[in-house]
Structure 1
């Protein structure tokens, strides 16, 4: 989906260093020091307009959250929401997820969230999917032993591909739902896409996986 250009976005991101981390690589190995506590750090890759991560931060004040989004015109909406909610335990990074190894050391994050990632449906684009083996290796390098990935999508093809990818990588599936909104799962925070798709009758697929 093409995003509307917001020429003022870059300036707004720069004007809010209390929420937007301008040089995240300088915190590698020092993220607990950056947050000023020893709380777990959960990251969302592709944070979009921020509804999920702000909801999680409000629900879990004892956890630090970092939202990662490449598009300035999108992440600025998340920033507006965080400013409105005045949440001290959520920060944003306007970066490419491929650079995570330059930003986090091993054991510095505790969980990765992937919500409604681009499915890249063409076979030749499989390497771009955030559940492709190269990305799974990347997450493993910044998570602790038995670190977790929580994954949600409305795209059945991507979900099936991801379950296979997780399994082939040797990960443990600890939770799988083929229709999240009709399951007994509690505490779900909907993303903007999730609400849109579910209103149209689309099933929401969700799983939790763990590195061995």
Structure 2
């Protein structure tokens, strides 16, 4: 459960989804996040995370792609809010958008690969214990993201629509910042390695 404390772009997306579209849309998005994390957890158990971590080129391209996707998501949210469209035109398919946002993050597979590698080394986990640990990680994703969705729905009750629209712009800008930071960080890393 402690692994889920870090708030990233996916959590911000779910929170905003709950505020703008309600808890059911947000929970649909949560199911996409859970499926994406489950996919990466299975890959991490298999060992793909360790392989990607050893290949700077693959990791680099994944960082660029993830950053570009975050920037595009952020731009879409901000533009829709400024044009006074219904917030987050993305929410028509909350499940697919959240799944895509989760899977597009290169840090997710590296993160889960690192978690499982360290668990294997530190705790000498057997295969079935790794699967139990993975199930617990997926369950904690579901619980934490659902709690974020509920919090977004609760906050919606206290905020007037104009503030909600402004928050959409802020969330869009935050996603853009996350994306640009990922791209810049990868670019600097690539420059340092050359």
Q: Which category describes the TM-score, using the shorter chain as reference length? A: under 0.3
- TM-score scaled by structure 2? 0.26
TM-score (norm 1): 0.24
Structure with greater strand percent = 1
More helix by share: 2
Q: Which has the higher contact order (CA 8 A, sep 6+)?
A: 2
